[in-house]
Chains A and B, each alone.
Chain A
Amino acid sequence: MLRSLGHSAPEGLFAHLPPESRLNRPLDIPDGISEYEIIDYFKARAAEGAVDYASFLGAGSYRHFRPVVVDSLVTRGEFLTSYTPYQAEISQGVLTAIFEFQTMVAQLTGMDVANASMYDGSTATPEAAMMAMRITRRDKLLVAGSLHPEYNEVLDTYLKHLEAPRQQVKYDRESGQLDLADLESQLDDQTAALIVQSPNFFGIIEQIDEIAERVHRHGALLIVMFTESVAMGIVKPPTAADIVAGELQSFAHPPSFGGPSCGVLAAKGKFIRQMPGRLAGETVDADGRRAFCLTLSTREQYIRRAKATSNICTNQALVALMGTIYMTVFGKAGLRELAEQNIAKARYLESVLRDKGAKLEFTGPYFNEFVVRPMQGAAADVNKRALAKNVVGGFELSGPLEGAMLVCATEMNRREEMDRFAEAF
């Protein structure tokens, strides 16, 4: 092939590169290794982790059972090794699945429209905030103090240069829910939106309707964010919200050290043209048969460039497909039963921790996570004792909650594990 192009040596293909740009030594990377050795390397890394430990960590990344069919389907090469479905005629598989994903996310969140996915919940949140600023043409943002702290940091990174004033709304120290009086005092006619998480970082379900009524009275938008999608199987959807941003990792993706996961963004129908990201839409083909294609693309960077609603291009399609299959497998009855199991497991954990004298920090209704303070010593001491029993304990909190921890119980936590964890208290 080289010779057919008139080159006698491979270097010829790179001869036009300016000499000062050329790398004139081999890369300082060891020689390639075989598949067997690659697996060995990663097995060694995996063994350095918390294999065979029970875990009560949640805090935005959750452990839920993954039905086997999910991987059977998503590892099919036609899903795994295709790309963004720009050529609709040979991408109907992924387009149809995206359409189903959008539908299920809308059904789950109580919104009219959902996009094809965002990177994750933490980046979907600032995108939702910017969307609200475009819609309202206002620039002040209120952020619930019970938002996931890392999400808050990401919000800060995205927005700090935009001269958009951001104010924190307190949570009620007793219930753990948003302090409605504090919200009321900060809302004004410059407020673009309130961002509130529900269940919030402490696992507590917020009073969405009461919050929405106050936010809307000032012409602002309500953005509801969630990190634990399993809650959506039983918790009333935030239909009063204008935009819902969230994280679907719980639906079929293991924690994977925090990523990849699957961000979602859903909204009221009238805001569809201000949404970031891809959308699949229904149409017909030349023979009048139902077909799907990417649509409303003029919102996107590859057409509107500097004026696009976002710079997002590649999203999390394969993880969204995992979520779609997961929602389909569990279905209407399964998601509810799953959520009920999570509620039951968390209540059992609460009871055995209370038996050891630990106290819940908040009184508000929680889903599968709660903040607990040990009777004696701090969370860190408990976690240390738990580790010795092959248990990874809860997430240690700081600030006013110093000494307490956020614990999570899912359908994967057996009773025996919870009893073992309680012994560390």
Chain B
Amino acid sequence: MIKKVRPHQTQNEPLIFERSSPGKFGYQLPELDVPVVDPQTALGAANVRTEIPHFPEVSEVDVIRHYTRLSTWNYAIDLGLYPLGSCTMKYNPRVNEFVARLDGIAWAHPYQPQQLAQGALRIQHDLEMYLAEITGMDAVTLQPAAGAHGELTGILMIRAYLEAQGDARKTVLIPDSAHGTNPATAAMAGYEVKEIPSNARGLIDFAALEAAVDDSTAALMMTNPNTVGIFEEDIAKVAELLHSRGAQLYMDGANMNALVGWARPGDFGVDVMHLNLHKTFSTPHGGGGPGAGPVAVKEHLTPHLPLPRVVKDGETYTAITQAAGSIGRVRAFYGNFGVLVRALAYTLAHGGNGLKNATLDAVLNANYIRKGIEDLYHLPYESPAMHEVVFSDQRQTKQGIKTGDIAKRLIDYGFHPYTVSFPLIVHGALMIEPTETESRQELDLFIDAMRSIAAEAEADPELVRGAPHSTRTSRVNETQAARNPIVKWEPPASQ
């Protein structure tokens, strides 16, 4: 039985261009307090455009109605459990939004004199210190704009470090369970990618790794806990092996929500790692960003950190823009500063103990879900779960039901689906990450829904295969979108 939701009306709404009518407007500008200038004279007639063809012309109420209606077509954390594995969809505290909008913060210009930017620089310095303590690393850069950008920053630092020793090397090793960003990053940084298999327990195959590491190996990129939600128990040994061959250990920190306060990558041999502030540190996902992907490094990599670097001297904060050995700038200005503000607010709110408790709750919630449905869904790996748990659709495929179908049916039960078909090493994966945000009530409803869908898959597979049934948009035809790409609105031919 569906307990969490019942259908309610949503408003229909055309595209903003279809709402548009000539002459309507929703903006207000003050009267000019300086003489009017003719743009043709100022810029030269050849440089002036006639108009922006088909741009919207709507009133302010039109704008409010349009985007409010669109918003009601989205699922969101604010509506309930959003168990996308690897994405850490936790509650986004509103105080973070408030402080990021304070005038002296939101309107700070990156080039204003540093004596008038002490607050903005201190925010970065304070956050860097906390992140270094949380990760057990020696220094942190806040420049990267997202996790993948942090990966690129980290791998470029490894390249610079190895180059300084005479050889940038050729290959980056990546487990077959890794996020797609890892191999894409290594390729962008000019490295060849070599895949390392996982073993029967879902962990990196140490023997295969040992065989693969040689003088051409620049680094191993590893996620820990890995994408199956399992802690890589050989991690210290892995680090030792890499270091003995002159290679570096990069850690993808996407799953850091499983470790904060309990274990530190710096203590188990990691040389460089990134964090996703929009995951572990509660900054809003915003429909796909902005994020921030700070990178933390050990001492030997600090000369290669990107610019600018914020340093504290006495009570004064300074941004340094030149440093020999640095990989240079990875982004203009100071990274996604507004996201950093929010992450610092989160850290201040929790404190050391609060952060540790949050991790505990996240791991507890994932294990509670595991226990609640493991008799009905196939668990490919028996190893203890951390903050997320991965099942497969092996039992349901007997009825022709795939992970994607179960996911779509979950929508009818009022939940956002888990991550579908990832990691690739689990065929038909269901990757579930509840985060610490969820109460037992919400988890019980989810378990209930998953159990109910398992029963439906047996009794009425068509019901599951045709889902979702209760959304305003039924199953979307992705094939047609890809075969005939339409990526912008065009005015009707008659106009």
Residue with the greatest number of chain B CB neighbours at <10 A, chosen from A92, A151, A327, A332: A332
Can you offer 16 A-B residue contacts whose CB atoms are under 8 A?
A: A10-B360, A16-B383, A49-B107, A49-B119, A71-B101, A72-B64, A89-B471, A92-B74, A93-B73, A99-B15, A301-B184, A321-B287, A328-B56, A336-B51, A340-B37, A341-B32
Top 4 A-B pairs ranked by shortest CB distance? A258-B333, A46-B104, A318-B286, A77-B78
Q: Which single member of B17, B186, B328 contacts A100 (CB below 8 Å)? A: B17
Q: Does B26 contact A (CB under 8 A)?
A: yes
Q: Are B78 and A45 in contact (CB under 8 A)?
A: no
Please, which residues of chain A bring their CB within 8 A of the CB of B120?
45, 48-49, 257
A5, A311, A341: the one within 8 Å of B184 (CB): A311
**CB under 8 Å from chain A, chain B span 71-128:** 71-79, 82, 84, 87, 89, 91-92, 95, 97-113, 116-120, 122-123
A388 at the A/B interface (Cβ < 8 Å)? no
Contact A63 B109 (CB under 8 A): yes
Contact A16 B74 (CB under 8 A): no
Q: Is the CB of A45 within 8 A of B47?
A: no
Residues on A with C-beta less than 8 A from B278 are 314
Q: How far is the CA of A67 from the CA of B111 in the complex (A)?
A: 24
Distance of B95 from chain A, by nearest CB (Å): 5
- Which stretch of A138-146, A166-174, A181-189, A272-280 is in the interface? A272-280
Residues of A within 8 A of B276 (CB): 314
Stretch of A28-36, A214-222, A371-379 lying at the B interface: A28-36
List the B side residues contacting A119 at CB < 8 Å: 145-146, 149, 289-290, 331, 336
CA distance A272 to B66 in the complex (A): 29
Contact between chains at A331 and B107 (CB < 8 Å): no
Is A401's CB within 8 Å of the partner chain B?
no
B294 proximal to A (CB < 8 A): no
Does B411 belong to the interface (CB within 8 Å)?
A: yes
Instruction: Report if A331-B27 is in contact (Cβ < 8 Å); known contacts: A107-B53, A285-B474.
Output: yes
CA distance A338 to B25 in the complex (A): 13
Report whether B108 and A291 are in contact in the complex, using a CB–CB cutoff of 8 Å.
Answer: no
Contacts A10-B364, A107-B52, A260-B339 given; does A345 touch B474 at CB 8 Å: no
* CB within 8 Å of B: which A334-356 residues: 334-341, 343-345, 347-348
Pair A49/B367 contact, Cβ less than 8 Å = no
B82 touches which one: A76, A83, A102 (CB < 8 A)?
A83
Given contacts A49-B108, A59-B111, A94-B287, is CB(A27)–CB(B187) below 8 Å? no
Interface centre among B151, B288, B478 (most CB of A within 10 A): B288
Chain B residue, CB-CB nearest to A13: B363
Q: Which residues of B contact A92 (CB under 8 A)?
A: 70, 73-74, 472-473
Which of B82, B118, B134, B411 has a CB less than 8 Å from the CB of A27? B134
Say whether, besides A258-B337, A339-B39, A295 and B364 are in contact (CB < 8 Å). no
Which B residues between 24 and 82 are near A, CB-CB below 8 angstroms? Answer: 24-27, 29-30, 32-37, 39, 42-44, 46-49, 51-58, 60, 63-64, 66-68, 70-79, 82
Q: Counting CB contacts under 8 A, is A122 at the interface?
A: yes
- When distances are taken between beta carbons in the complex, the residues of chain B under 8 Å from A5 are 364, 367-368, 371
A49-B116, A77-B79 known; A259-B334 Cβ under 8 A: yes
Contact of A316 among B110, B289, B351 (CB under 8 A): B289
A272, B57: Cβ atoms closer than 8 Å: no
The residues of A that contact B478 with a CB separation of less than 8 Å are 88, 283, 293, 295
B464 contacts the other chain (Cβ, under 8 Å)? no
Residues of A contacting B146 in the complex (Cβ-Cβ under 8 angstroms): 119, 312-315
B303 at the interface (CB under 8 A from A): no
Q: Which of B208-216, B394-402, B454-462, B486-494 contacts A (4 or more CB under 8 A)?
A: B486-494
Contacts of B33 in A (CB 8 A): 414-415
Q: A107-B55, A260-B290 are in contact. Are A27 and B355 (CB under 8 A)?
A: yes
Q: Which of B156, B290, B291, B371 has the most CB of A within 10 A?
A: B290
Q: In the complex the two chains form, is B486's CB within 8 Å of A282's CB?
A: yes
Expressed in whole angstroms, the Cα–Cα distance for A234 and B180 within the complex equals 41
Q: Are B25 and A83 interface neighbours, CB within 8 A?
A: no
* Chain B, range 278-312, C-beta contacts under 8 Å to A: 278, 284-291, 306-307
Q: A61-B111, A311-B184, A314-B291 are in contact. Are A348 and B102 (CB under 8 A)?
A: no
Question: Do B264 and A313 touch across chains, with their CB atoms under 8 A apart?
Answer: no
CB distance from B450 to the nearest CB of A (A): 16
Question: Which chain B residue lies CB-closest to A337?
Answer: B29
Most buried by B among A76, A116, A121, A387: A76
A32-B348, A99-B15, A278-B288 given; A50·B159 CB < 8 A: no
A211 touches B (CB below 8 Å)? no
Asked whether, in the complex, the Cβ of B27 is within 8 Å of the Cβ of A329, the reply is yes
**Which positions 361-395 of chain A face chain B at CB distance < 8 Å?**
365, 367, 383, 387, 392, 395
Expressed in whole angstroms, the minimum distance between the Cβ of B492 and any Cβ of chain A is: 14
The answer on a CB contact under 8 Å between B52 and A108 is yes
A81 and B411: CB pair below 8 A?
no
Q: Are A29 and B130 in contact (CB under 8 A)?
A: yes
Task: Indicate with 1 or 0, residue by residue over B144-179, a CB within 8 angstroms of chain A CB atoms.
Answer: 011111011000100100000000100000000001
Q: Could you tell me the distance in whole angstroms from the C-beta of B105 to the nearest C-beta in chain A?
A: 5
Q: Which residues of chain A from 143 to 202 have a CB within 8 Å of any chain B CB?
A: 148, 150-151, 153-154, 156-158, 160-162
Q: Does B231 contact A (CB under 8 A)?
A: yes
| Bound-state Cα–Cα, A20 to B265, Å | 11
Q: Check: B261 CB closer than 8 A to any chain A CB.
A: yes
Q: How many residues of B contact A (CB 8 A)?
A: 187
Residues of B contacting A383 in the complex (Cβ-Cβ under 8 angstroms)? 113
Q: Which residues of B contact A82 (CB under 8 A)?
A: 74-77, 82, 285-287
Question: 17 other contacts beyond A69-B63, A74-B286, A327-B56, with CB at 8 A cut-off?
Answer: A20-B268, A26-B352, A26-B356, A28-B133, A63-B107, A76-B71, A78-B71, A86-B420, A88-B478, A102-B487, A235-B43, A314-B146, A314-B278, A317-B287, A340-B36, A343-B43, A344-B36
Minimum CB–CB distance for B293 against chain A, Å: 8
A305 within 8 A of B: yes
Question: CB distance A308 to B180 under 8 Å?
Answer: yes
Q: Is there contact, CB below 8 Å, between B338 and A260?
A: yes
Establish whether residues B332 and A122, one from each chain, have CB atoms under 8 Å apart when the complex forms. Answer: yes
Q: Which residues of chain A (78-130) have a CB below 8 Å from chain B?
A: 78-94, 96-100, 102-104, 106-108, 112-114, 116-117, 119-123, 130
Neighbour of B188 across the interface among A85, A235, A311, CB < 8 A: A311
A266-304 CB contacts (< 8 Å) to partner B: 272, 278-287, 289, 291-293, 295-298, 300-304
Cβ-based interface call for A57 (8 A): yes
Are B351 and A31 touching (Cβ within 8 A)? Answer: yes
Residues A157 and B306 in contact, CB atoms below 8 Å apart: yes
On chain B, the residues within 8 Å of A329 by CB distance are 26-27, 60, 63
B7 within 8 A of A: no
The reply to whether the CB of B390 lies closer than 8 angstroms to some CB of chain A is no
Q: Is A310 close to B, CB under 8 A?
A: yes
Is the C-beta of B481 less than 8 angstroms from some C-beta in chain A? Answer: yes
Minimum CB–CB distance for A314 against chain B, Å: 4
Q: Are A315 and B289 in contact (CB under 8 A)?
A: yes
Question: Quick check: A311 and B151 within 8 Å, CB to CB?
Answer: yes
Q: Would you give the 0/1 interface string for B232-247, flagging 1 where the beta carbon is closer than 8 Å to chain A? A: 0101100000000000
Docked complex Cα distance between A295 and B133 (Å):
41
Asked whether any CB of chain B lies closer than 8 Å to the CB of A237, the reply is yes
Is B431 engaged at the interface, CB distance under 8 Å to the other chain? no
- Chain A residues with CB under 8 Å of B233's CB are 16-18
Contacts of B485 in A (CB 8 A): 272, 279, 281, 295-296
Q: Are B355 and A81 within 8 A (Cβ)?
A: no
Q: Please tell me if the beta carbons of A73 and B103 are within 8 angstroms of each other in the complex.
A: no
B37 close to A4 (CB less than 8 A): no
What is the bound-complex CA distance between A65 and B328, given in angstroms?
Answer: 33
Smallest CB–CB gap between B18 and chain A, Å? 10
Cα separation A119 to B268 with both chains bound (whole Å): 32
- Candidates A120, A281, A306; contact of B482 at CB < 8 Å: A281
Using CB atoms, name the residue of chain A closest to B189.
A161
Quick check: is B4 within 8 A (CB to CB) of the other chain? Answer: no
